[in-house]
Every structure is written in structure tokens, then in C-alpha cells.
A and B are shown apart, each in its own frame.
Chain A
């Protein structure tokens, strides 16, 4: 008889004792314990795991988890201006509808014929991103934008056989930590200064630092601090003349209105797809893209899956398969190009749905709306006494740095006050970029209404003690 240690559980069909007995009889074993004969006593856990009493019914489980989650306050409840690598955009309902489908959500690695849908959806993702980036090769997504940048850098190092990497010093400190760790054994990462007025890369500094050892320059457009850089062509020229590679990190949601990196000489474009129809998920909604021209020397260096369109045994039928599978760690363990495995496929499918819904017009319009709203926010915030743009001559997209130094208050205390008004203020930069003093990065997207932006400005006025009369246009609209 199978010993009943635990009741029947809905997730474990064969927890039914009679079934266990029947199966053990078939096996010819007296107990499940016998099946563990190969695990010696000295390696056995000699105690019970100290875990909470289980909530066996779904009803109890819901109560418990929902009570915990109710202690969170989301960006739907409070007005949020947080960005800095994770952004609040609208997520079309169809994106959520598709990524919750059992067929996609619970699949893993079926064969090309039975998982044709996954292959096609990811091939289409590659293709849609290819249009957005105006490049012919895009990978099945890697973990996130930080990994995409790290791998782009290693690809450049392998292609050139060089070990020196120049990166803009406006990179997110977290991204730099990921890159440094990923390149810790063999690459030197050196920062390139930025112009304190425009936020653009300092070309003079760049010129001085490029050498015959330099594999690549990596900069971002827009930068982590929101600034757009129009020197892309010059930067690419400079590194090309030295025999290196130009890598540009880019926010894909900007590409309906801003020229993609391929238009100003970039060899590799990379970034994060989270803005494209994926919720923030407390930082869990990221996926990384890497795009290049369709040249063998680039394609050979990708570690990622690259799904290609292919024929099948039936004439006239689309099929898909891995391009240059032999590159990957599946095929060639430690001699492969980095490594590949589970990464962010479901988000890739989702981003494909998003771009299909948006179309060319949608991407143009969202870019325009974001430009307008972020510029409007800049105007309104700069009307608050003591506030100004940290990069007065910058052109920015979606994010902008506000200088709080003249307020005599710390961003920390101001954000605490904003929180009391149910506003998540801009991300505090005072520790990340101490040279800027008290400064914060505000993110404004298509979801922010004029009223909400006004509310932020009015709250800041109040908090900073410059509570002048509200402008006539906003009367009665204070949040």
C-alpha cells in the first residue's frame, strides 16, 4: 500500500493513493521510497523543510496572495514619472490576449512543424523589428537591453579581435555594471565624456580615446538621460576610420520619428523591447534586441537563436529553422559564441503583436505625442521657481533631467513630498551622477495627459514653497 502522507492535490493527479499503489505494482516496487534507493542516507535531508502551512484551496491562496499584493501601490493608482530603463506605456489589450494564450504561454521548444506558430511569430518579430531598425538581421530576444548591449560589445570584440571598448559616460550605472561583469575577463571598458549643455557625446574626448585597440564605441540615442545625439554619423565615421565598430543603443518606441541607427552608420543596433506592448512587471518585462546588416561576419557572431524562413517537404509551405545553428552553445558547448537558452521569447512575440497593431502610422504618432508631451512637461516644470533643465540645449525624447540645485532641497525630500500627493516623481540622479548635484530624470510618455503634467508642476510649486497662483488655463483642474 502506498502510504498516504499528503492528501490528494489538484496539481498532482497521481497523488491518489490507489493510483500510486497500482503504479508501484507495475514497477515491482513496494514503495516510492524504494525508488530513491540510489540516494545514500548521508545525503538525505534529515529534517522536514521549515515552510509555512500550505494554503491548499485556491480560495485561501487567493486571499493570502491578494492581501500581500494589496500592499503594493501601482502606477495605475499613483501618477508616475519614473523611467530610467523601464517605462510606462500603454499596452494594447490584444498584446495581453495573445501572450496569455496557453499555446504560447506554456510551450517551450516544440519542433518546427508542431510549434510552427512560435517560429512564425518570432520570425515576424525579427522582421517587424527589422523594419523599425531598417536592418536585415534581428535576433530572437535575449534577456534585456543590458544583455543586448553586453553581447553587442562582445560581438564587436570578436569581429575586430580587439579588447578596448568605449562607452558613453551617460550609461545607466546598472547597465554599466552588467557590461563590466560580462566583459570582466578580457575587455577594457572606458567611458567617454558627454557635453554638460547638450548631453551629447564629447567628440573631442572620443577622438582622444579611440586607438588601434578600440573594438567599438557604444552610445545611446536617446541616452539614459533622455538626450538625443545628432552626431551619430561623425561618431560612426571616427570609429570606422580606426577599424572599429559603431554600436548604438536605442529606444525602439522612438523610431517612428527618429532615424534608426543604421541611417547614421551604426553597425550594430541594440536595446530593450519593454516599451513595445509589455507591462513593467516591477522590472520583469524586459527583452533585448540586437540588429545588424546581413553580412556573414556579423551573423556568425550572434549567440542568439536566429530564426530563418525555409522550405518544408511540402512544396509551397512556409517553414522555419535556425540559421547557422552551429554557432550556438547548444551545438558546441564551450567553443560557441557565448551561450543561449531560455531568454524572453514571449515578450518577443508580444512586441511583434504591438508593432503589427501600431503599423507605420501608429509608430509615427506615438513618437510625435511623446515628443510633444515631454517638451510640454519640460516647459511646465521649468516654470517652477528654482527648476531648470540640466541640459538646457538638449533635444530630448521621453525623458528629461530637471536640475533641482537651486531649490535648496534634495530630490529625495521632494520625491517624499510628491509621494504624499500620490505622485512618483522623477528618478533621483544625485547618487548615480553626483556631479549633477540634485537632479532627477522625469519620464513622460503617451499615457500622460496634460492635466497630469500640470498636476505634477503644481504639486512641485506647492512643495517648493513657491505656491503662486495657478495659471488661468488650469483653474479647477488641480489634482
Chain B
């Protein structure tokens, strides 16, 4: 039996292995790998090596790790992998804001080459000229894409890039003697939570600008918020609604007039590559998540890279080292006069940079623009079709085209059927699809956010749409089917009996076993 090409619905069931926790698979004495033993010539000279350790520092009982043979470890984790739904397998457009796209396999071959994986970061620079050139050239590419003047790849995520930008704002104002005075940052409600949370770590008071009816950040609210206490603006454009703020340059102008810096969260820049840039909009800093727009895979949540760019005037604050080219060779330069220091060890997640480099080299200037154009085309196609599904609403910007994503609402359907967006999320899994449950901040009622990027074929978008429509039909005709979903996923709806209770939560297997033994919670299996 094949997929019904007419209804575009799959008869899907995800693998359910009922896989035990690895500790339950342990059999005393089994070995997964053997470890090199010191040669006899070494043992003759130094003995067992352990007697040197002070007695109280010797571990008395071995760690209670499970004991398994190699194939059994492999099998366990392969089964767990089958119980996971990666972008390579599903039409991963339901995780809006995250820019789930194709991570080309050839780039995986590059990063897995020992010419990358077996490089130590402190090798003599003459032995790492290839990778340094890639870091340098990727910097040059991103300068073109953003209009910024220099990039660092040290931040290992968007959040860490936000922290780095906030650190530079601190150092910049300190260099002008205004650090104490400028103790506030301004962000918008539809920006990522880290735009508020990371600056707060550095002691900044966070002022959040709400949006007006159009869904765009309120310019009047900004005018009220900005003052000589403003250190920086942290803005996203387009925000998670996919609506481009055409007055963004007024925002940056106003903040500049008050002496603040303007930073641009471009974690996701997928819809605007080559079309509009941080520089033209008046920003002083920006960052790109190489694991979003630039194709490095998400890896279940990292490692990633928040490539951060600054204008010339701020380059003396960059974290060290920076990669420079002296005309003959690439060097790691620690001589950055007012550097903020470091935000992560060494030079960041270099494999992510290599992947981004190779991805850009495979597309070129026109190709990057085509990425953006098709991401926008896909999104507006989806928007048109999703709007036709019963029970769906599209808050804000009625009748306008959107950029790369849209935050939709099931509010009408919920009111009419009692089926919520959480229910739909659960039911989507029965068709091998994902619809994310996270839409912070939860302003739009019963939200779902779709971002189809450039990676998905029209037929795949149609398939996703068919599933949404099917579930909407079910909600109106047979809501129990949706309310009790998932039926064909790995497991069933999670409960929340123990997660918020100190006596019962268990963050490790040992804690779980102890709490069960004490009778604080019930054994699950």
C-alpha cells in the first residue's frame, strides 16, 4: 500500500521500541569498548600509576555505569534515534522561528574529515591555514550579507550572541564614561526571549515594547521608552509574525539620537538575504544563527553558532581572538584594544562555520537571493492555503503578504469545537508531522507558527496542508480523535505529575530509583 496521492495522507506510525532506560539493560561484566593499557615498558617504570594519587582522592567505588557490549549500546541508541523525528524525515515546517532547512550531506563529510575534526585549537597557525581561511572568508561573506564590518564566530548560539552584543554595549558605554547612566535596554515583545534574558544577566533593566494593532512594534511606545538611560535596542525584523517593520530605520534613528546602540537579532534572516540588511536599517550590530539560515543542522539543540557582526567603530570591543589576513597568511589576533574578553572557549563552533561557508559557496549571491525568494514564496503560498482551513485565523496585517513565517491561530476552532492547538500538535504526530508547541510569548491565542523555508517542495507543503485540513475536519466532526492524540507516535501525551515537585521530580535515573524506593513516587514500568 502506498500513500494516497489524492488525499495526500500517509498511513504513518513512528517506531515504538518501548526501549528501556540504559541502566535496565546492564549485564555485569559486559564491555562496550576496550581501552589501551599502558605498555609493559611504561608499567616497569611507573608501576600502576594510581598509587601516586593521595588515598583520599582515590575513587573508592567505581561509577555505577551500565555494562553493555558494543552492539547492544549501538542498538539501544539506534532505537532511540528511530524514536526521534528529524528534519531529514518530516516536512519540518511546523517549527516556525527555527528555520528548519536542508543541511547538505556533503557538508557533513567536510566537517567529519580528520582535517577538521582532529584539529587542536592551539596548533601552530601555519598548520591550520585552511580552516583559518574558511573562518576569514565566511566573515567576508557575512559582511556582504549584513553590511557590518567584522564578524566573530565565538558565540555558540543566538542567545550567546545576544550576550556578546550586550557585553559590547556595556563596554562601549563604559569607554565613554556612561556605563552607570545607561542601565536599560529596550526590546520588543515578539523578539526571542533571550533578547530580554541575556542582557538581564549583565544587569540591564529590560523595557519591552508592545505592538500596535498592525502587529508591529509601537513606535510611540519606543519614543516614550528611550532616554539617556538607554544602552541599546534589541530588535528582530521581521518578528515571529513574519511582518516586516518598514519603519525600522526610524526606530534605530530614535535610539541613536538618544545615544543608544542598535542591535539586530537576525537569528533567522532567511526571507531577506540579499534584499535588505542591518546596515541600511541603521543597526550597529547583528548576528546570524548559522544553524538556522545558513544550513548547519540543529543537532537536537546545538552545537550551533551565533555569528556576530559589528560596525567598524565597535570592532575594538570584539571578543578575542579575531582572524586576520596579513597579506600572506591568516593569523589569530589577540590584540583588540577594548575587547570584552571572551564569551566561549577558543573560536566557537568551527564545524558550523565550515558548513555555512560550503553552503554559501554552493549558492553564491544569486543563490542566496533565491533562497530568500523561495522561502517567501513558500510562506505566502502556505498562508493562502492555511487561511482556507476551517477554524484558522491569521492575526495582524490583514491582506498583506508576509516574509518568511506566519503565526496563525486556532482560536476560532477552539471556540467552536473545544479542540486546542495543543491537541492539534499531538494529532500532527500521527501523520509524521511536527507542529511546535512553543510560541513565546503567548500573545496570539491558540497559536501555531509555520515557516516553510526554501527546502520543501510544493508537494510537501501540500501534504502538510492536507494534514492540517484533515485535523480541522476531525475537530469539527470527530473531536475525540484529536483530543486523545497522538495515536501513532512513539509515546503518548506527556503528563505532568512529578516535574514541579521536589520530592518527586527525577532528573537522573538514580534519583528516580531512590524516590521510588522511598515511596515518594510510583514506578512507571
Contact = CB atoms under 8 A, between A and B. Distances in A.
Nearest to A365: B35
Contact of A69 (B56, B113, B377): B113
B490 A26 contact: no
B208 interface: yes
Interface in B347-370: 347-352, 354, 357-370
A342 B275 contact: no
A255 B59 contact: yes
Given A70-B130, A112-B494, A317-B524, A88 B39 contact: no
Interface string A342-379: 11111101001101111111111111110111011001
B127 interface: yes
A328 to B, nearest CB: 8
A147 interface: yes
B81 A12 contact: no
A78 to B, nearest CB: 7
Given A310-B498, A342-B301, A143 B344 contact: yes
Interface stretch (B1-9, B190-198, B221-229, B470-478): B190-198
Contacts of A45: 147, 274-277, 280
A306 B511 CA distance: 13
B122 interface: yes
Nearest to A425: B124
Given A310-B495, A310-B497, A310-B499, A259 B145 contact: no
A178 B343 contact: yes
B420 interface: no
Interface stretch (A59-67, A207-215, A402-410, A455-463): A59-67
B56 A264 contact: yes
B310 interface: no
Given A74-B118, A147-B344, A333-B197, A94 B429 contact: no
A145 B346 CA distance: 11
A349 B167 CA distance: 31
Given A43-B281, A103-B84, A366-B35, A308 B498 contact: yes
B370 A80 contact: no
B83 to A, nearest CB: 4
A329 B197 contact: yes
B10 interface: no
A366 B498 CA distance: 37
A312 B493 contact: yes
Given A45-B280, A334-B196, A69 B115 contact: yes
A113 B490 contact: yes
B116 A282 contact: yes
Interface in B129-173: 129-131, 133-134, 141, 144-145, 147, 156-160, 162-163, 167, 170
Given A26-B381, A86-B346, A174-B342, A138 B50 contact: no
Contact of A39 (B52, B78, B276, B507): B276
B374 interface: yes
B298 interface: yes
A88 B508 contact: no
A96 B103 CA distance: 17
A108 B99 CA distance: 10
A6 B66 CA distance: 54
A75 B118 CA distance: 6
Given A108-B300, A357-B32, A113 B196 contact: no
B73 interface: yes
Interface residues of A, number: 219
Given A68-B130, A321-B496, A369-B37, A283 B348 contact: yes
Contacts of B318: none
B368 A12 contact: no
B86 A106 contact: yes
A110 B118 contact: no
Interface residues of B, number: 224
Interface string B50-76: 101110111110111111101001101
A117 B362 contact: no
A131 B361 contact: no
A357 B108 contact: no
A376 B44 CA distance: 10
B63 A449 contact: no
Contact of A88 (B120, B167, B370): B120
A71 B134 CA distance: 11
A449 B36 CA distance: 9
Interface string A232-266: 11000000000000000000000111111001100
Most buried by A among B39, B194, B302, B354: B302
Contacts of A126: 507-508
Most buried by B among A114, A118, A140, A311: A114
Contacts of B256: none
B172 to A, nearest CB: 13
B258 interface: no
B495 A109 contact: no
A338 B46 contact: no
Nearest to A64: B361
A114 B385 CA distance: 26
B492 interface: yes
B203 A186 contact: yes
B39 A284 contact: no
B206 interface: yes
A411 interface: no
Given A313-B493, A356-B66, A284 B89 contact: no
Contacts of A76: 114, 118
Given A38-B243, A65-B361, A356-B22, A11 B454 contact: yes
B435 to A, nearest CB: 9
Most buried by B among A38, A352, A424, A446: A38
A28 B299 CA distance: 38
Interface string A393-407: 001000000000000
Nearest to A260: B59
A428 to B, nearest CB: 9
A352 B430 CA distance: 29
A42 B281 CA distance: 9
B425 A368 contact: no
Contacts of A334: 196-197, 199-200, 206, 208
Contact of B103 (A105, A130, A415, A424): A105
B500 interface: yes
Contacts of B364: 51-54
B52 to A, nearest CB: 5
A305 B436 CA distance: 17
A446 B36 contact: yes
A135 to B, nearest CB: 8
Nearest to A14: B374
Contacts of B300: 104, 107-108, 115, 118, 122, 345-346, 349
A298 B351 CA distance: 34
Given A6-B369, A280-B120, A359-B68, 20 more contacts: A11-B371, A14-B454, A32-B377, A37-B400, A51-B368, A80-B120, A106-B100, A109-B436, A114-B84, A114-B429, A116-B83, A137-B507, A279-B118, A282-B346, A286-B303, A314-B491, A316-B525, A330-B440, A424-B120, A450-B42
20 contacts: A12-B370, A35-B376, A35-B401, A74-B119, A86-B121, A107-B299, A113-B486, A120-B21, A136-B508, A143-B157, A257-B53, A257-B59, A310-B494, A330-B438, A363-B65, A368-B38, A372-B48, A373-B42, A424-B127, A446-B36
Q: Which 5 A-B pairs have the closest CB atoms?
A: A283-B346, A54-B364, A185-B203, A357-B32, A346-B299
